[in-house]
Structure 1
Amino acid sequence: MAKTNSGRFFEDYTVGQVLKHAVPRTVSGGERALYHALYPARGALYSSDAFARSCGLPASPIDDLATFHVVFGKTVPDVSLNAVANLGYAEGRWHLPVYPGDTLRAESEVIGLKQNSNGKSGVVYVRTRGLNQRDETVMDYVRWVMVRKGNPDAPAPETVLPDLKTVVDPADLVLPEGLDFTGYDFDLAGEPHRWGDYEIGEKIDHVDGVTIEEAEHMLATRLWQNTAKVHFDATFRPDGQRLIYGGHIISMARALSFNGLANAQMIVALNGGAHANPCFSGDTVKAWSEVIDKAETSAPGVGALRLRLVAVKATASPFALRGEDGKYLPDVLLDLDYWALCPM
């Protein structure tokens, strides 16, 4: 009997299938240190226990996206080991902060399937939950991924497309218990801009850029225990290049957005997202944001900003997103729609 695992192919999924992912992970301050080494992340809430306590939290949490990466990485062997590409996200919510010492695991349910017209691959939709050691949901999200067929002659499954919300309603945002920005220290945070200083429709060029290095993206992918072959094996793609993990681009763009959005401290929802074009080592990534919406919250001094975060290659025109045909321009890498909490 074979002992090794070649991963699931498109024909191995069925709607309603529940996947309980292996290898729980206890996070520590090491995750924070490595996260901040990989990305120019400077959010005060995630850098200082004292700052976090002044905002009503017991200590500085692990970065929201680090939590996402840990949970995401758990799912890869069961969902996207044979992926062509990770395509998009929806209905993501962070339910609880994660602190050093918490142990995270993940489980996913298959909620949709659609075979591609070429018959060689298909799109798998899953809803994933990340849980802590108390079986509390710390975050959940939907993602869809294009997966190869192992047997091209396998019959196509019935097409099932999930009905997904385009945005998480502000009333459904989960705010960390005790969060209070009434005593927020703008000097220590790094910028003076409050919730009220941002206008719907405003676009912000984050100015800075970072060139993606092969060693750093490989370290990041291993850190999050992401085993997708396209990120490791240069023989897996016809062009002989290793695809940069999409989460690496998300975190890089989010870190770059500090310049202009330093006070958009906590990500609480992921409304949608697309990895528009592949990124490879040597590409220089820049970022810009658009304020899509604003909402008040029940937490003292806390407002919510709905932001579009766009990662582009340095060759892109300012604020360019789509061409006349409606398709993403080739220099656009990421289009991410999320809610973040900001002092009022």
Structure 2
Amino acid sequence: MTKTNSGRFFEDYTVGQVIRHAVPRTLAEGERALYHALYPMRHALHSSDEFAIAAGLDGSPLDDLLTFHAVFGKTVPDISLNAVANLGYADGRWLQPVWPGDTLRAESQVIGLKQNSNGQSGVVWVRTRGLNQVDEPVLEFVRWVMVRKRNPGSPAPETVIPDLPVAVAAEDLAIPEALDFTDYDFSLSGEPYCWGDYAIGERIDHVDGVTVEEAEHMLATRLWQNTAKVHFDATHREDGRRLIYGGHVISMARALSFNGLANAQMIVALNGGSHANPCFAGDTIRAWSEVLDKAETDAPGVGAIRLRLVATKGVSAQFALRGADGKYAPEVLLDLDYWALMPTNGDSVH
């Protein structure tokens, strides 16, 4: 009997199938320290217990993307071990904060299938939920992945493409209970700009850049227990290069966005996202953001801001996404659309 696992192939998925992922993971304070060592994260709410307590929380929650990576990593052995590419995200919501000491697990349901015309692979859509130790959902999102077929001659399944929203509606955002930015301290947060200082359509060059190193991205990917072969095994790609985990690019770009968006404190929804081009060790990541929308919330002093975060390699912000052919420009690594929470007033700069 073969005891090793070669991962699922496209033929192994059926619409409606539910997969419970191994292995549960308890997240501790060390996770935060290592996350902040890997990325230049400086958002105050995720850095300081005292700042978070002043904002109505019991303490500083773990970074929202740390939660995302931990849950995502659980899914890789079952969903994307034999993936050609992780194609996109949609309809994601952070449902409650994750605290040091919480134990997370994940489960996914297959919601769509479509075989590619070449017969060699197909696209699988899954809705993934992250749950804590008392089975409360903390995060949910949809992603779609191109997965190799085990046998190219096997029959194609019925095509089912899920109907996904363009964006999470502002009224469906989950605002942490007791969050209150009424007495928000702008001097400690790092910038004076509040929700009212940002205009829809405004673009922000985050100025700084970070060159990706081989050891750092592999350390990060191991931290999330992500077992995808393309990130570790140099023989798995024809060019002999390890592909940088897309989540590493997301976290680096989010960290860089502090310069200009220091007060976009919590990510509460993932509307959509694409890994536009591959990233490799030696590439220098830079980022820019565009304000797509704004919305009021019922939480005191808290507004929601919808942002497009674009990561590029090797160039300063040019605010260009696509070429004349409609395809992503070759320097674009990431195109991410998300909602964040921000103080609505204070030391406003108009």
**1:74-85 matches, cutoff 5 A:** 74-85=74-85
Question: How do 1:1-344 residues align onto structure 2 when only pairs under 5 Å count?
Answer: 1-315=1-315, 318-344=318-344
The letter for the 2-side match of 1:268 is: V
5+ residue gaps, structure 2, are 345-350
Secondary structure, aligned partner of 2:259 = helix
Q: Partners of 2:237 and 2:150 in 1: how far apart?
A: 16
Paired with 2:152 and 2:270, the residues of 1 have a C-alpha distance of 34
Asked if the contact 1:316/1:331 (under 8 Å) is kept, the reply is no
Distance in 2 (alpha carbons) for counterparts of 1:135 and 1:185: 34
- Looking at structure 1, the residues matched to 163 and 233 of structure 2 have their Cα atoms a distance apart, in angstroms, of 35
Is contact 2:205–2:317 with CA below 8 Å preserved after alignment? no
Query: Conserved in 2, the CA contact under 8 Å of 1:9 and 1:150?
Result: yes
Cα distance in 1 between the residues matched to 2:193 and 2:341: 13
Secondary structure of the residue aligned to 1:278 is coil
Structure 1 residue 77: Cα displacement? 0.4
Counterpart residue type for residue 206 of structure 2: H
Listed one character per residue, the Cα deviations across residues 221-256 of structure 1 (whole Å, up to 9, x for unaligned) are 000000011111111111111110000000000000
Give, in angstroms, the shift of residue 314 of structure 1. Answer: 2.0
Query: Scaled by the length of structure 2, what TM-score is found?
Result: 0.98
Provide the C-alpha distance between the structure 2 equivalents of 1:16 and 1:236, rounded to a whole number of angstroms. 31
In structure 1, distance between residues paired with 2:175 and 2:121: 39
Write the letter of the residue equivalent to 2:209. G
Please state how far the C-alpha of 1:118 moved relative to its aligned partner.
Answer: 1.1
* Aligned AA (2:114): K
Q: Is the 8 A contact 1:253 1:310 kept in 2?
A: yes
Query: Contact (CA 8 Å) 1:84, 1:230: kept in 2 or not?
Result: no
State the alpha-carbon separation in 1 of the partners of residues 110 and 126 from structure 2: 4
For the residue of structure 1 that corresponds to 2:23, the secondary structure is coil
Q: Which of 307-316 and 285-294 deviates more?
A: 307-316
> What is the distance in 2 between the residues matched to 1:174 and 1:203?
26
What letter corresponds to residue 269 of structure 2 in structure 1?
Answer: A
**C-alpha separation in 2, matches of 1:20 and 1:266:** 28
Report the RMSD for the aligned CA atoms in angstroms. Answer: 0.7
Q: Which amino acid aligns with 1:96?
A: Q
Instruction: Provide the rounded CA distance (Å) in 1 between the counterparts of 2:2 and 2:255.
Output: 43
Q: Aligned equivalents of 1:15 and 1:75: distance in 2?
A: 17
Calculate percent identity across the aligned residue pairs. Answer: 78
CA-CA distance at 1:156 after TM superposition: 1.0
Structure 2: distance between partners of 1:67 and 1:315: 30
Is residue 316–residue 332 contact of structure 1 (8 Å, CA) maintained in 2? no
Which 4+ stretches in 1 moved above 6 angstroms? none
Between the aligned partners of 1:218 and 1:150, the Cα distance in structure 2 is 27
**Structure 1 portions without partners, runs of 5+:** none
Query: Offset at 1:316?
Result: 5.9
**What CA distance in whole angstroms lies between the structure 2 residues aligned with 1:230 and 1:160?**
28
Cα distance in structure 1, aligned partners of 2:111 and 2:15: 5
Give the TM-score normalised by the residue count of structure 1: 0.99
Counterpart of 2:6, as a letter, is S
Please say if residues 285 and 313 of structure 2, whose CA atoms lie closer than 8 Å, have aligned partners that are also in contact.
Answer: yes
Deviations 1:174-221 (A, max 9, x none): 000000000100000000000000000000000000000000000000
How many matched pairs?
A: 344
- Which residue identity does 1:107 align to in structure 2? E
Distance in 1 between residues matched to 2:317 and 2:342, nearest whole Å: 29
Distance, in Å, in 2 between the alignment partners of 1:316 and 1:257 is: 14
